[in-house]
Structure 1
Amino acid sequence: MTERTDRTVLLRGGNVYSPADPFATAMLVEGEHIAWVGSDGAAEAYADVADEIVDLQGALVTPAFVDAHVHATSTGLALTGLDLTADASLAEALAAIAEFTAGGADGVLLGHGWDETRWPEHRAPSLAELDAAAGGAALYLSRTDVHSGLATSALRALVPALADCAGYSADGPLTQDAHHAVRRAALAHLTPAQRRDAQLATLRRAAELGIGALHECAGPDISSAEDLAALLALAAETPGPEVFGYWGELGAAGVETAKRLGAVGAGGDLFVDGALGSHTACLHEDYADTDHTGVAYLTAEQVAEHVAACTEAGLQAGFHAIGDAAITAVVDGVRAAGDQLGAERVKAMRHRVEHAEALTPETLAAFAELGLTASVQPAFDAAWGGPDGMYVERLGADRAAQLNPFAAMLRAGIPLAFGSDAPVTPLDPWGTVRAAAFHRTPEHRISVRAAFTAHTRGGHRALGHDADGVLVPGAIASYAVWATTDLVVQAPDNRIAGWSTDPRSGTPGLPDLTPGEPLPTCLRTVVRGRTVHTHQGQ
């Protein structure tokens, strides 16, 4: 039976993370909105009007998380199919491929997550090795960053003139246009049932993790219009996280498609460049381990035209930009659009930059000046940062240490929205907060409180929904209930802000996210007043 959305629910006996009352232990929800927060004693006045009273038994109630960058179908395929993320060697990956394809299958098989920088062989499989492991199947395997991929001979044969595409390799991974072509061919062979099952798997997993909203970053080179339309329809009819769609296609055609699909922006994965792991992020100086600067997909002039078209249409523009040269192109293009249409008009749209890893002091200042929202993924640093990580291999220690400068971004006044880029890194909201608070480069760390805000309210603000993502009267009732350890007011360096459980601080506490401490368990996820997940036994 579908839960009514006009119910009144009283939660009491816990800890409610609310700026309206840092000592709140109870909350009243009426329909889709929060009506009141306060103490257990004051909550007695509402007991008679509540349709349901929830005894929190000391649990923590927070706003539901927002994952500001996901790819739902690909994430679901990784959750339910071949995921090579944990494979520790090329030999282990080839064995997993052979097991996955052993039963045979019609159509194209898909997998994700290989990363040669983690393997002792330090290389991707050759085409002959891949064909042998796949047993002749048509198989597509995206690299962990989804900016290059492997395709068996059977899949390559489905793509006309593949050898003429930029980024083609006769024996190794495919990048640029060649990668986009084989990816489109692979996804085109998904049946509607396969797509629906994958998207449902993602929505279920997100709900289990206390995620109440997802920003789906779709586009012609990452999924398809049909894929985004199916996801938005599924989310509308299925109890689960809300989904807000972005369509990453350039110019007037992209704007019109975004409008037709009901997307909130013509952006997301609109590629200005690629990724560091695939040597396709666009840099001002050569990579440390190869003699080129990556790939530029868009110029500043193209960025300017797109921002102007989106602003005129009342849609957010958004760009995937990782390398410093790509970010410079975005900044120059947005500024040019402001010169054309008026700086304040462009700034009011809160246009987005996805990833924004290689910022400089100049582009940090420009982001603040232009009102750009940074949609960033702290788990990237957890996966590839540090003295021995992929970033150092690609850029050298000095440049690698400048990546993902979250503290500097906050000091500059840049709005942050946290996400996972799943399946590039897993859906893992508390892990994301931990990664930002304990950045591998200490000077880039931010407090747990600031990181949590970026992963909750920040995702709503990126959409222009400034009143949501916080537990105060009038806000939407999208929240999660957590079993957790002691609550603390925590910064990653106790010389800066310290650790405190003293209620006199007037600051609500959050879980202790020190590395090694267990992450909270989600007991219940509620989206706009409707329960979309309950933990087994609840």
Structure 2
Amino acid sequence: MFGKKWTSALLATALMIPLPAFAAQGTSQAAGQASGQATADAAKQAVVQPADVVLSGGAVYTVDRNRNWAQAVAIRGGEIVYVGTDEGAKAYIGKSTKVTDLKGQMVLPGFIDSHTHASKTTGLIYSIDLFDAGSMEEYTEVVSAFVKAHPQEVALQGRGWSNPVAPGIGPRKEVLDAILPNIPIALTSDDGHSLWVNSAALKLAGITKETKNPEGGIIERDPETGEPSGTLREKAMDLVLSKIGGYTVQQYKAGIEEYQHKAVERGVTTVRDPDMLRYPNVLEAYEELARENRLTIRFRNAITANPDKGPEQIAEFVKIRERNQNPLFQVNAVKIFMDGVVEGATAYLEKPYEHKHTNGELIWKPEVYNKTAAAADKAGFQLHVHSIGDASTRIALDGMEYAEQQNGKHDARHSLVHLQLVNQEDIARFKKLGAVGIVQPFWFMQEDGYYDEIEVPYLGQERAEKEYPMKSFLNQGVHVASSSDYIVTPEFNPLHGIQQGITRIEDGVTDPAKIANPNERATLPDMIASFTIDGAYANHVDDITGSIEVGKKADLIVLDKNLFAIPATEIKNAKVVLTLVEGKEVYSLKAAAAK
């Protein structure tokens, strides 16, 4: 639709050839088409009400249905009132209009992170942070320093240790006992699915050699003595965490506000935090921030369902949804933990793991899940299902199909999150059921320390090579939304995720053999859509955000580089210059640099 010049530009971009002329020439040509009716309508009007803000002279990639380009955007009352050429935008400039000449910089819809644990930023402020450590010796140093600095604590929590540092049964209690033997210590792994504890924590929870694994959980044990070794997986984590307690409402509020600062700096304007009710005080913290008008980005959160309570809990979820209808904070989804993770051998697989004769852990009984899914669907909630293994995903889709059979087909947009292993035949079921895939492109690589040390030995070479499909979903017309799963992914900049989804190779590595499942590489338009319009679709907000179109909220970001005019390997280096949420400036690179 854009002619030979546009086709050549896309071809050159695919070959990672910088195109300095494209930003001016290609955008100018496309802008004439993008403006279309808007310019014509403006010309017919004798008087156009002035806009509050006009951004002009830009490379505006609208991510609308036709993927149009424009040069200018006009904003009034927090909404987009014009998208088109610079010439057409002049009609919207009045005496009080703030006009910004973008000088060719790129404009995109605000990024959407469809699965991020924003509230867990609290733990980075108030607990032991192990994310920057990478060995047992470094973990010991960090924990010891924290213990020394907090001598009055009655229990210590933290997060960030990595499974490859202690594969198999995980890190040992004796390491922590040597630091602090009498005060409980509970340290969550970086993926959130395992807990490293000392003997005092095991004692607090009453966990002994005789304690059986809880349903959906594993108490790792010393292979010789059978004693608990110090690592708890999945539901077994709750045995300790329920005794230690969590953070206060005020601490969670501070963490969420800190997350917002991080988010707008990275151009993130809408997110889904799936941790409502999973931890005490998280929901209350969001509700207070909403009442106090201290939210600066849009949250469409999910309530974590308890597999022991079944469909009866949905009535409570409805009450929570009804009392939270703030424009920037709503709860519209039900989170289901269907299985665990590969690194803990708890992801639920069709065939057993290579290193142990088990298929993993299915956290929900299928019949309870089916009934809960149907009840949530009937109440108008989206399902937001954590699913890593291929068997888990099949069962999750079965529940969505059951809900459809019970309630009829409607625009539910249930989603499955992570999708590390998926049977090809199940991808077609996504399309049939209208289900959304929510993926983490940050993980699309043969990551050092994970791929050769964990994934290949645990899954076998054949399964490891098929991890994290994305293009297969897109090829069948499935909506795919990207996310970071922060804080599992500590650096959640969507620009890095966009690059990773295109290259599928670890940053700095050039060996083609190290490309993870190369047939699943996505295109730049694919990746941008996954972080914008498809993210909006996944969160049921595509009527108000996700693309730059007249009538939508002015959730916009300005980048210092046109992503279509630089090599894919340089996308992560682009910088967010400006972030707007409903027309309000919530971040400016210039202002941040001046501080």
Match of 2:98 in 1: 52
Match of 2:155 in 1: 108
**Higher deviation after alignment, 44-53 or 172-181:** 44-53
Distance 1:19 1:463, change over 3 A: closer
Distance 1:73 1:23, change over 3 A: closer
Query: 1:182 is matched by which residue type in structure 2?
Result: V
Partners of 2:537 and 2:593 in 1: CA distance? 34
Match of 2:360, SS state, is: coil
Match of 2:11 in 1: none
> What TM-score do you get using the length of structure 1 for normalisation?
0.86
- 2:553 aligned with 1:476, yes or no? yes
Query: 1:181 is matched by which residue type in structure 2?
Result: L
Please say if residues 80 and 201 of structure 1, whose CA atoms lie closer than 8 Å, have aligned partners that are also in contact. Answer: no
- 2:392 aligned with 1:326, yes or no? yes
Q: Aligned Cα RMSD in Å? A: 2.6
1:461 to 525, 531, 537: 537
Partners of 1:370 and 1:518 in 2: CA distance? 34
Q: Percent identity?
A: 26
5 Å-filtered alignment, 1:247-266, equals 247-250=303-306, 251-262=310-321, 264-266=331-333
Match of 2:480 in 1: 416
2:301 to 234, 245, 262: 245
Unaligned runs of 5+ in 1: 1-5, 489-500, 502-510
Distance 1:233 1:513, change over 3 A: farther
Deviations 1:47-68 (A, max 9, x none): 2255322232332211111111
5 Å-filtered alignment, 1:79-478, equals 81-104=127-150, 105-118=152-165, 124-134=170-180, 136-160=182-206, 163-166=211-214, 167-169=218-220, 170-186=228-244, 188-220=245-277, 222-224=278-280, 226-235=281-290, 237-250=293-306, 251-262=310-321, 264-268=331-335, 270-342=336-408, 344-345=409-410, 348-382=411-445, 384=447, 388=452, 390-426=454-490, 427-439=492-504, 440-467=516-543, 468-478=545-555
Please say if residues 113 and 271 of structure 2, whose CA atoms lie closer than 8 Å, have aligned partners that are also in contact. Answer: yes
Query: 2:158 is matched by which residue type in structure 1?
Result: G
Match of 1:494 in 2: none
Please say if residues 203 and 240 of structure 1, whose CA atoms lie closer than 8 Å, have aligned partners that are also in contact. Answer: yes
Q: Which has the larger radius of gyration?
A: 2
Measured after TM superposition, the shift of residue 407 of structure 1 is 0.5
Partners of 1:56 and 1:159 in 2: CA distance? 59
Measured after TM superposition, the shift of residue 383 of structure 1 is 6.8
Measured after TM superposition, the shift of residue 19 of structure 1 is 4.8
**Higher deviation after alignment, 384-393 or 284-293:** 384-393
Match of 2:28 in 1: none
Deviations 1:268-312 (A, max 9, x none): 2x1111111111111111112222110011233223212210122
Match of 2:26 in 1: none
Please say if residues 318 and 354 of structure 1, whose CA atoms lie closer than 8 Å, have aligned partners that are also in contact. Answer: yes
Partners of 2:416 and 2:396 in 1: CA distance? 8
5 Å-filtered alignment, 1:7-86, equals 8-19=52-63, 22-48=68-94, 50-78=96-124, 81-86=127-132
Match of 1:218, SS state, is: coil
Measured after TM superposition, the shift of residue 71 of structure 1 is 1.5
Partners of 1:460 and 1:518 in 2: CA distance? 22
> What TM-score do you get using the length of structure 2 for normalisation?
0.78
Partners of 1:246 and 1:340 in 2: CA distance? 23
Unaligned runs of 5+ in 2: 1-49, 221-227, 322-329, 505-515
Partners of 2:63 and 2:257 in 1: CA distance? 34
Match of 1:508 in 2: none
Partners of 1:405 and 1:98 in 2: CA distance? 41
Measured after TM superposition, the shift of residue 73 of structure 1 is 2.3
Partners of 2:444 and 2:235 in 1: CA distance? 27
